[in-house]
C-alpha cells in the first residue's frame, strides 16, 4: 500500500492540476501510513515486552508468597460467600461451580486458622479435606498467576497498544487534513471575495 501511494504521489506531481496543498496532503497520508505500519507495531511490541516483564515478576512474587495447603471442612455455607470464590485463572480454565465452606487449616508457621473459603470439590461434608491457597500469614488467598496466563495478558496489552497507537495516528491525520481543507476553502473564499465583484467585466481582474 505504501509503495503504491508513493508511486501515485510521483505521478500526481506531474499533473498540471497539482497544487501545493495536494503535496502537503500526500505527505501527510504517507507519514501516517509509515507510522501505522512501523511505529505502532514497535510501540505495541515494547509495551507487550514491558508488561510481560512486570507480570512475570508478579508471578514469581506470588509463587514465593502463596502456599498450597490442606484444609478440613467444618460445614458448608448455604448463604455465605468467600472473597476468594473465583480468580482470573479459574474463570478461564474451568466453568466449575465453587462452593463456599467454613474450614480449618494450618498457617505456614504452624498455627491453626479458620475461615470461609471456596472449593470445587463435589464433597463438602464435615471432615472433607480440600486444597486451598494461603498467603504468608495463613490467610486465604487467590491462586498465584500462571506464567502462561501472564504472557497472554502481555500479548493482549501489546496488541491493544498497537491498535490504539494506529487509531490515534489516523485520528490525528483526519484532524490535520480537516484543518488543511478548511484553510484551503478560507483562502478560496477570500480570493473570490476580492475578484467576485469584477467577475465578467471587460478589463477587470487582469
What is d(CA 82, CA 114) in angstroms, rounded to the nearest whole number?
A: 13
Residue 124 lies in domain: 66-81+94-143
**Same domain? 152 vs 123:** no
Counting the structural domains of the chain, the total is 2
Which residues, other chains included, contact 74 with Cβ-Cβ below 8 Å and sequence gap of 6+?
101, 102, 103, 104, 114, 126
The helix (run of H) or strand (run of E) holding residue 98 is none
Report yes or no on 158 lying in a domain.
yes
Residue 105's pLDDT is 95
The answer, yes or no, to whether residue 54 has pLDDT greater than 90, is: yes
If asked whether residues 120 and 136 sit together in one domain, one would say yes
Q: 139 and 166 share a domain? A: no
Report if residue 162 sits inside a domain: yes
The per-residue pLDDT for 88 is: 43
Question: If you average pLDDT over residues 42-49, what whole number do you get?
Answer: 96
Task: Check the CA dihedral 155-156-159-165 and report its sign.
Answer: negative
- Residues 132 and 174 reside in one and the same domain: no
Q: How confident is the model at residue 86 (pLDDT cuts 50, 70, 90)?
A: very low
Whose cell is 479459574? That residue is 90
At 199 the pLDDT is 61
Q: Is the dihedral of CA 9, 10, 15, 17 positive or negative?
A: positive
Would 183 be classed as within a structural domain? yes
**Residue 33: count of CB within 10 angstroms of its CB:** 17
pLDDT at 196: 59
pLDDT of residue 186: 84
Q: What is the mean pLDDT of the chain?
A: 81
Residue 92 has pLDDT above 50, yes or no: no
- Inside any domain, residue 75: yes
DSSP conformation letters of 127-180:
T-EEEEEE-TTS-B-PPPPPHHHHHHHHHHHHHHHHHHHHHHHHHHHHHHHHHH
- The verdict on 73 and 129 lying in the same domain is yes
**CA-closest candidate to residue 140, choices 69, 90, 79, 59:** 69
Provide the pLDDT for residue 33: 92
d(CA 109, CA 118): 22
* Pair 46, 137: CB distance under 8 Å: no
pLDDT in tens, 129-183: 999 999 999 999 999 999 999 999 999 999 999 999 999 999 999 999 899 888 8
Amino acid at each position: 500500500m505504501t509503495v503504491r501511494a508513493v508511486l501515485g504521489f510521483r505521478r500526481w506531481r506531474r499533473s498540471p492540476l497539482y497544487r501545493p496543498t495536494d503535496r502537503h496532503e500526500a505527505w501527510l497520508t504517507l507519514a501516517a501510513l509509515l507510522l501505522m505500519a512501523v511505529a505502532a507495531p514497535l510501540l505495541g511490541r515494547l509495551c507487550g515486552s514491558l508488561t510481560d516483564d512486570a507480570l512475570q515478576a508478579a508471578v514469581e512474587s506470588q509463587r514465593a508468597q502463596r502456599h498450597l495447603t490442606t484444609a478440613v471442612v467444618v460445614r458448608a455455607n448455604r448463604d455465605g460467600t468467600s472473597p476468594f470464590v473465583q480468580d482470573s485463572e479459574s474463570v478461564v480454565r474451568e466453568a466449575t461451580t465453587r462452593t463456599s465452606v467454613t474450614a480449618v487449616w494450618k498457617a505456614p508457621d504452624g498455627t491453626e486458622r479458620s475461615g470461609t473459603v471456596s472449593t470445587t470439590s463435589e464433597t463438602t461434608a464435615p471432615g472433607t479435606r480440600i486444597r486451598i491457597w494461603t498467603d504468608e500469614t495463613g490467610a486465604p488467598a487467590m491462586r498465584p498467576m500462571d506464567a502462561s496466563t501472564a504472557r497472554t495478558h502481555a500479548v493482549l496489552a501489546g496488541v491493544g497498544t498497537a491498535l490504539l497507537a494506529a487509531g490515534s495516528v489516523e485520528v490525528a491525520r483526519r484532524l490535520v487534513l480537516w484543518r488543511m481543507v478548511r484553510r484551503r476553502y478560507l483562502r478560496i473564499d477570500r480570493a473570490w471575495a476580492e475578484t467576485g465583484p469584477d467577475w465578467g467585466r471587460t478589463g477587470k481582474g487582469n
